[in-house]
Chain A
């Protein structure tokens, strides 16, 4: 009896939900949607949610011009669960919504590559804030762009820096993800070219207890350790490695770039070097404001790639605006894609973006930074050691071709 009553109640609720929902009025303004696809659940969700938040913030702050034109800009977050199947299913879902004019995503190149095929077949522009795998842009797709760096540039940048530090031997670690392994591989190649002895090249999926990983490093005593990975793993590693008595340099890619790194690594993390395409807050005042706004809205510090996500969404919004003005109506996806590709000198939070014919940033600015303090709040004042301008590898190809 009780169960029956309960079931009836549930039925009533469902019906009521359906009914009440139908009372929602139709919309007057023309709707333009920006979607994002990032892992919002699972172990990588800290990064993925922060990327999604970055896009949400950009849509909130920068959709003014489009609103003035009479459009309503909406944001649609998707969870790709860091799984290719889910990413592709989502991609098919979102290309079928004609109101979606741009996608910001993904975190994992393994998800981005198959999903971008779907976007490209439907002329939907994708701007990637985080996919550093060279193959993401190298496939001749007109709709795939990225504002982040490339593994084959960032890795070597790190190697050259280690060389300048004067270290003669290095131990390379990576997290076995496409990102970490990619950047570590290119680091290793360049380091060997520069004559640095690579004492070890190891992948580890360990995220918490690095004792086993550290033992051989101590025995080999390299002068520097390069760890291709994300702060949530590398911060803990550095903390434990120092405690076990390692005294050399730590160098890493832009996955280190989070205030949480300071919290995880503690005192051990001070003086760690990392390369990044995102300019430090000290020289990009907009970035400082972004961090403030982000904290105010979401109550946490932005993670790596959040600022890039903001920039990606900003570029997309700009392009939609330009295309909308040109078309005098809701622009076509192809028009938006070509305007995005034609982006020149866009000043974002993390640097200036000019897309080349492949969708890479024409000249990548790579910064080398040094962690200054174990206090997470002081992350913005990390010391900027070097700024390197490295053209995309396609630039030479393009120049010689044309």
Chain B
């Protein structure tokens, strides 16, 4: 995710390093870094408040919870990161917040449900091999969500190009209202309900948690969390290659740096913008279907909270910055998971203050780094 000039005479090892090892290593660094920060914070708190409530020894609780908290944080963080990528890519190119992106995420999760439900209704879900099933579900929702994003851009944003920045924002809000209720109408007519439950309850391989031992404590890791993590890593690597290693990706980067100059260089700006929406949308869709498999039930209104959180993550990392979206997502997931696990033990606080603390952390970070953790890559037009 470092922008490097593509060279024609690269060797396989270089290629491997640049597009596989480096991004994975970067992710590992982020995960480990965030994990270490969380651990230090947790034990610092335990040191400061050894017994926040009677009969609760914070160190013991942390020892018991930490592995679970970290895994939850990572899987949550990857979901945020994947949605945040959609915000960030579009922001990079068009410099506006695509508020409808949360509905593209929702659409992906609904498509995921439709695919899985259809396979299940055909009676085939048990006989499909797990990886095949997941790949089919995720890729169909990726394509559908990507196409929807392209369509939205064509209908609701393209006519507004050149208008003040807030105008497409309101159009996006309109799209968001339209999409939730349109999906609801379609599901209400075809299925008579819109609480859509993934047919995962009978899939033993998906439902049986994987017990992992960390010292004395055993954590039941849900398979879906692992799927999310693996899926997200694979897709992020592919995305890194696409943006930094292909001609099309270079086109997107060129457009995001300077639309006019890019068009003078013979780049089809409209195509590149559509492509950006497709890529961002399909990541939203993939996140949606993975999220759906993980939580089991989705509704047309499911996009709102993850959408806002992912938007926060994109800003936290530095909006417009692709690596920033990844870091922001992971950081936010970790912070949330940590706060959810710790705040419970403090009287008069509690999980209900998680969002407040998350936002305080965000504001603190932004005070010291006004353009996000990794900064904007977008140049300011002066």
Q: So, do A and B actually touch in the complex, CB under 8 Å?
A: yes
Bound-state CA distance A216–B304 (Å) is 25
Q: Is the CB of B76 within 8 A of A239?
A: no
Tell me whether A267 is interfacial, beta carbon within 8 Å. Answer: yes
Binds B, one of A2-10, A21-29, A157-165, A206-214: A206-214
Contact of A374 with B by CB under 8 A: yes
- Closest A residue, CB atoms, query B71: A211
Separation in Å of the B91 CB from the closest CB of chain A?
25
User: Are A215 and B337 interface neighbours, CB within 8 A?
Assistant: yes
Known contacts A201-B350, A207-B305, A374-B201; is A215 also within 8 Å of B299 by CB?
no
* A307 contacts B by Cβ under 8 Å: no
A260 within 8 A of B: yes
Say yes or no: is B20 at the interface (Cβ < 8 Å to chain A). no
Does A219 make an interface contact (CB < 8 A)? yes
Binary interface encoding of chain B residues 282-308 relative to chain A, with 1 for a CB under 8 A from any of its CBs, else 0: 000000000100111111011011100
CB distance from A171 to the nearest CB of B (A): 9
Q: How far is the CA of A227 from the CA of B344 in the complex (A)?
A: 16
By secondary structure, the B interface counts as helix
Instruction: Take A201-B350, A203-B352, A263-B197 as given contacts and tell me if A209 and B341 are in contact as well, using a CB distance cutoff of 8 Å.
Output: no
**Which residue on B lies nearest to A258, using beta carbons?**
B195
Select the stretch in B61-69, B96-104, B235-243, B322-330 that faces chain A: B61-69
Asked if B345 and A216 sit within 8 Å, CB to CB, the answer is yes
The residue from A42, A207, A299 contacting B302, defined by CB atoms under 8 A apart: A207
Residues of chain A with a CB closer than 8 A to B88's CB: none
Interface flag for B75 (CB, 8 Å): yes
List the A residue with the shortest CB-CB distance to B109.
A208
Asked whether B153 is an interface residue with its Cβ less than 8 Å from the other chain, the reply is no
Q: Is A41 an interface residue (CB 8 A)?
A: yes
Q: Does B26 contact A (CB under 8 A)?
A: no
* Docked-complex contact A232 and B340, CB < 8 angstroms: no
Q: With A215-B68, A240-B296 in contact, is A209–B222 under 8 Å at CB?
A: no
Cβ of A244 < 8 Å from any Cβ of B?
yes
Evaluate contact between B61 and A211: CB separation under 8 angstroms: no
Is A176's CB within 8 Å of the partner chain B?
A: yes
Contact check, A208 vs B340: say whether CB atoms are below 8 A apart: no
Decide: A243 and B305 in contact? CB cutoff 8 A.
no
Count of chain B residues near A, Cβ 8 A: 48
- Check B209 against A203 for contact (C-beta < 8 Å): no
Contact status A245-B209, CB under 8 Å? yes
Q: How far is the CB of B222 from chain A (nearest CB, A)?
A: 6
Output the least CB separation between B262 and chain A (Å).
32
Cβ-based interface call for B114 (8 A) = no
B343 to chain A, nearest CB (A): 9
User: Are A43 and B299 touching (Cβ within 8 A)?
Assistant: yes
Report yes or no: A206 in contact with B305, Cβ–Cβ below 8 A: yes
Q: Give the shortest distance, in Å, between B129 (CB) and chain A (any CB).
A: 22
* Interface flag for B351 (CB, 8 Å): yes
Q: Which B residues between 42 and 93 are near A, CB-CB below 8 angstroms?
A: 61, 64-65, 68-69, 72-73, 75-76, 79
Closest residue of A by beta carbon distance from B337: A212
Q: Is A288 an interface residue (CB 8 A)?
A: no
* Cβ of A218 under 8 Å from chain B: yes
Smallest Cβ distance from B152 to chain A, in angstroms? 21
Determine if A236 is an interface residue (Cβ-Cβ < 8 Å).
yes
Task: Kindly provide the distance from the CB of B112 to the nearest chain A CB, expressed in whole angstroms.
Answer: 13
A264 in the interface, Cβ–Cβ < 8 Å?
A: yes
Given A203-B350, A212-B336, decide whether A219 and B61 contact each other with a Cβ distance below 8 A: yes
Contact with B along A246-283 (1 / 0, CB 8 A): 00000000000000100110110000000000000000
Q: A200-B344, A211-B75, A212-B341 are in contact. Are A243 and B295 (CB under 8 A)?
A: no
A219 CB contacts on chain B under 8 angstroms: 61, 64-65, 341
A204 interface contact, C-beta 8 A: yes
Contact A209 B301 (CB under 8 A): no
Give every chain A residue within 8 A of B298 (Cβ-Cβ). 208
Chain A residues contacting B68 (CB-CB under 8 Å) are 211, 215, 218, 244
CB of A292 closer than 8 Å to a CB of B: no
A290 nearest CB across to chain B (Å):
17
Q: Report yes or no: A216 in contact with B344, Cβ–Cβ below 8 A.
A: yes
CB proximity of A214 to chain B, nearest CB, Å: 8
A351 interface residue per 8 A CB criterion: no
Q: Report the bound CA distance from A260 to B340 in whole Å.
A: 28
A203-B352, A243-B209 in contact; A260/B305 too (CB < 8 A)?
A: no
Q: Which residues of the partner chain A approach B79 to less than 8 Å between Cβ atoms?
A: 209
Which residues of chain A have C-beta atoms less than 8 A from B350's C-beta? 200-203
Contact B201 A211 (CB under 8 A): no
Assembly CA distance A194 to B368 (angstroms) = 50
Contact B209 A244 (CB under 8 A): yes
C-alpha spacing A391/B187, complex, angstroms: 43
B195 touches A46 (CB 8 A): yes
CB <8 Å contact, A212 and B220: no
A235–B299 alpha-carbon span in the complex (Å): 14
Given the known A-B contacts A215-B340, A244-B209, are A208 and B302 also in contact in the complex, defined by CB atoms under 8 Å?
A: yes
Q: How far is the CB of B117 from chain A (nearest CB, A)?
A: 12
Q: Return the contact of B352 from the options A46, A176, A243, A264 (Cβ within 8 A).
A: A176
Chain B positions 131-171 with a Cβ under 8 Å from a chain A Cβ = none
Q: A202-B352, A235-B297, A243-B209 are in contact. Are A212 and B76 (CB under 8 A)?
A: yes
B207 close to chain A: CB less than 8 A = yes
Whether A244 contacts B220 in the complex (CB less than 8 A), given A203-B352, A211-B337, A374-B201, comes out as yes
B195 near A209: Cβ-Cβ < 8 Å = no
The interface of chain B, by Cβ under 8 A from chain A, is 61, 64-65, 68-69, 72-73, 75-76, 79, 181, 184, 192-195, 197, 201, 207, 209, 220, 222, 225, 291, 294-299, 301-302, 304-306, 336-337, 339-342, 344-345, 350-352, 354-355
17 pairs, A vs B, C-beta closer than 8 Å = A176-B352, A202-B352, A206-B305, A208-B302, A209-B295, A212-B69, A212-B339, A215-B65, A219-B65, A236-B296, A240-B296, A243-B209, A243-B220, A264-B195, A264-B297, A298-B192, A300-B193
Which of A's residues lie within 8 Å of B, judged by CB? 41-43, 45-46, 176, 200-209, 211-213, 215-216, 218-220, 232, 235-236, 239-240, 243-245, 260, 263-264, 266-267, 298-300, 374
Which 3 pairs, one residue from A and one from B, show the smallest C-beta to C-beta distance?
A212-B340, A211-B72, A266-B201
Q: A203-B352, A208-B291 are in contact. List 12 more A-B contacts (CB 8 A).
A: A200-B350, A201-B350, A208-B302, A211-B75, A211-B76, A212-B336, A212-B337, A213-B340, A213-B351, A218-B64, A260-B195, A264-B297
